[in-house]
Structure 1
Amino acid sequence: MRVLRVLAVPGAALCLVAATPSRTAAWGEAGHRLVARAAVGALPPGMPGFFTAAAAQLEYLNPEPDRWRSRLERDADPALDGGTAPEHFIDLELVPPGALEARDKFEFVLQLERRGVRRPLEVGVLPYHVLELVQRLREEWRLWRAAPDAATRRHVEQRIVNDAGILGHYVADGANPHHTTIHYNGWSGPNPAGYATDRQMHARFESIYVGAHLGLDDVTPLVRREARVVAPLRLEVIRYLRESNARVEKLYQLDQAEPFGLDTRGEAHRAFTASRLAAGAAMLRDLWWTAWVTSELPAGDSTRPGDRVVVEHRPPRPDDVATLDGLVRAFYEAVSGPAGQPREWWRDRALYLPDVRFVAMDVDSAGRPVARVLDHQAFVDGSDRAFRRDGFFETEIGREVARFGNTATIRSAYETRRRPDGPVLGRGVNSIHAFWDGARWWIASVVWDEERPGNPIPPALLRP
């Protein structure tokens, strides 16, 4: 029924079948195969053996979605090509702030149309398609774990390899800056720098140049060695695509200096292209690993594979991010709870920018200030075990807010206990830096220091 909701929006039905521009196949056969081979080669030893043994099949499948887009089938009926083309790209310049928080790709399309985008599917839905495929793969791993017999498990293994291979295609697409921009095949719109506008630029770069000049030895050394769990999944996928989009102009600058093609010799061209292929391989390896590792969990739960807590992504609770009061309340509630109770790390993570930084201040034995800087994952990993073992309640005892325009600095005094009625273990001040993006509040960073002799909480900050 959700498809029917999209079809009912004026103009959106046309987008679904006919309005999406034809896009050149990403990376070409050679580039897609390189990404898959490098990703398989970088998998950790803990990946099930049947998966790593399927390296040749995973490599073959990476270009597969482009094979479906043949002219023969498109001429027979445009349904397949028109319906799947938006899955290959996202024109991030056309995405309004907050739109990628939409629940799914159908709601995303509706949001774009409400905000005045005339042909919303021309913006693309690549991040949503990657999310769908990772979630599908994770469910298949759960089925594999629960298979009642060997025959059933073999059937599920075939499905896992197939969908992992197809996922690889779209992750590789996202590594190519062309697939994240309106400038996907020549510069579009105002062009004061005089970048290439020919309609062969896409193919010159990702097919002709890559096929002639790049090999596995160029890519493999650049793939980050350590696999990581990608969490929160949605925000990390979006960040990956934004990082690719940030390299669009560099791609055109290189092409301006020496056009990409069969005879290109520039070392900067080779280094840039190899780094993009390696970024795709690392992300693909990490998403495969994430789907496997987190398949031990019920959907939406968090656990510790090894020493790492996996934090699932969910959209924020609307009340948590609608006001500063709600933001601060959720900031404390998400980490608080009795011994044995899992923390709401997903709720906590939804309050912050993907690149949020925490700075914990302390003093050393000589009384000199010491700053410990953490991202959200490091904070969770360092806190979860003790919080669940001993219990932890953090309560606000005073607040001061300085707001200017769409920014706010919140000084929030707190005290901590192991039980709500237990003795106070410590007190301090959280300095929370937040901003309003027109739809919700975000926390950009948090700095805190503890009360100690010579460093009392200012009386004016404490509630009467």
Structure 2
Amino acid sequence: MRRFALSFALALTLCPAVAHAWGHTAHAVIDRAAIQAIPEGGPVFLRRYADYIATSATLPDSWRGDAEGFSKIEEDPNHGWFREQFAFLKPIPRSRYAFIIALYKRYEAIKDKDPATAARTNVRWTGTLPYAAMEAYERLIVCMRGVRAAQAKGGDASVPEQHCAFQAIRLGHYIGDGAQPLHDSVNSDGWLGPNPKDYTRDRSIHGRFETRFVDAIGLTAADILPRIGAPAHQQGDMFDAVLGFLDQSGDRMERVYQLEQRDGFANPADQDVRALVYERTAAGAAMLRDMLCRAWAESAAPPARVTPGPLDFSNPRFDPETGSAPA
């Protein structure tokens, strides 16, 4: 037991806090397919920016460099959602800061009796992906209101359209990351903890699956467009929909490890690995398309009036620990 604890602690020090994303190919394909799948009546103006959005699909990864410490510490957690780390937390808070505070309280409660788990009970080792996605989504709604306002006046909508395109880059990246099963588990870069099935502990599994294999098969938007299906998520709570999307992806994490045991993703002709890549990238494109369309629909209505406001102490949902009522 002691030997396992030591090796587990060593594994933690060797693994990055939050894994990097799909390679550029998959991210760009997800974005292009999502935009191509937007139906008439949706935000079809984004088609004019498809090259910009796809070319910039991995831009958020560039905000995570070690040299840019302020940017890195804010951005790193936005790319992962390691569900095993916060199984104790139900329901998931509807506030980024309430989530972080809950993690810290848990850390304080277990740091002496379970230091190995406590070492990973923090925002860097859990991720904040659904919050980053929802933040980009709601900013997209605001930008789309600007597009509608310009269109209603018969004016030039190009500037608010560009604002929308930038937020689509951000949203597309986080949703694309969430579609990759290894972004939804602590086993993001090699298996951690007990390993009765002898899954690889090699950190390179992440890149071998999402970049080397994807590039080897020459993934394109045409490969996944037929798999996207009709728009969904046009009703109901979007935060819950994002959490469900991440759970669905995380449920496929062990499948990645099972397929890796064959030949380490070295065979681009492997139909099972291809099927998983197609299914996951199509799921990411579908979710992105749905969120773009839902944002456009919501932008048609004026902003909802919240009374009392989120910062008002009299708001029944006001959280004194964060200083605001949650979404």
TM range (shorter): 0.7 to 0.9
- Residue identity (%): 33
Distance 1:150 1:61 in 2: 30
Given candidates 61, 66, 82, the residue that maps to 1:91 is 82
TM-score (norm 2): 0.79
Shift of 1:78: 2.1
Shift of 1:99: 4.6
What SS does the aligned partner of 2:202 have?
coil
Q: Does 1:279 align with 2:283?
A: yes
What SS does the aligned partner of 1:101 have?
coil
TM-score (norm 1): 0.57
What SS does the aligned partner of 1:185 have?
coil
Given candidates 144, 148, 167, the residue that maps to 2:147 is 144
1:389-438: CA deviations, max 9, x gaps? xxxxxxxxxxxxxxxxxxxxxxxxxxxxxxxxxxxxxxxxxxxxxxxxxx
Alignment-derived partner of residue 137 in structure 2:
134
Given candidates 236, 239, 243, the residue that maps to 1:234 is 239
Answer whether contact 1:258 1:264 (CA < 8 A) is retained: no
Change (3 A) 1:136 1:28: same
Q: Does 1:211 align with 2:196?
A: no
Distance 1:178 1:227 in 2: 24
Shift of 1:100: 5.2
> In the alignment, residue 60 of structure 1 is paired with which amino acid?
T
> In the alignment, residue 134 of structure 1 is paired with which amino acid?
Y
Bigger mean CA offset, 33-42 vs 277-286: 33-42
Answer whether contact 1:230 1:287 (CA < 8 A) is retained: no
Alignment-derived partner of residue 99 in structure 2:
108
Task: Within 5 Å, give how 1:22-101 maps onto structure 2.
Answer: 22-70=17-65, 74-75=66-67, 77-99=68-90, 101=92
Alignment-derived partner of residue 441 in structure 1:
none
Shift of 1:97: 4.6
Answer whether contact 1:230 1:286 (CA < 8 A) is retained: no
- Greater helix proportion: 2
Shift of 1:141: 1.3
Answer whether contact 2:57 2:173 (CA < 8 A) is retained: yes
Change (3 A) 1:100 1:33: farther
Shift of 1:228: 4.3
Q: Unaligned regions of 5+ residues in structure 2, if any?
A: 1-14, 108-117, 306-315, 318-327
Shift of 1:196: 1.1
Distance 1:220 1:97 in 2: 38
Change (3 A) 1:48 1:181: closer
What SS does the aligned partner of 2:293 have?
helix
1:351-402: CA deviations, max 9, x gaps? xxxxxxxxxxxxxxxxxxxxxxxxxxxxxxxxxxxxxxxxxxxxxxxxxxxx
> In the alignment, residue 26 of structure 1 is paired with which amino acid?
A
Shift of 1:219: 1.5
Change (3 A) 1:169 1:285: same
Distance 1:150 1:101 in 2: 43
Alignment-derived partner of residue 375 in structure 1:
none
> In the alignment, residue 126 of structure 1 is paired with which amino acid?
L
> In the alignment, residue 299 of structure 2 is paired with which amino acid?
S
Alignment-derived partner of residue 181 in structure 1:
185
> In the alignment, residue 122 of structure 2 is paired with which amino acid?
P
Answer whether contact 2:43 2:292 (CA < 8 A) is retained: no
Distance 2:79 2:235 in 1: 21
Q: Unaligned regions of 5+ residues in structure 1, if any?
A: 1-19, 302-316, 319-464
Report which structure shows greater RCO (CA 8 Å, sep ≥6).
2
1:265-317: CA deviations, max 9, x gaps? 3211100111000000000000000100111224458xxxxxxxxxxxxxxx8
Distance 1:231 1:60 in 2: 32
1:141-168: CA deviations, max 9, x gaps? 1232234856663221111111112210
Distance 1:86 1:226 in 2: 29
Task: Within 5 Å, give how 1:299-448 maps onto structure 2.
Answer: 299-300=303-304
Distance 2:84 2:139 in 1: 28
Distance 1:151 1:297 in 2: 20
Distance 1:49 1:43 in 2: 6
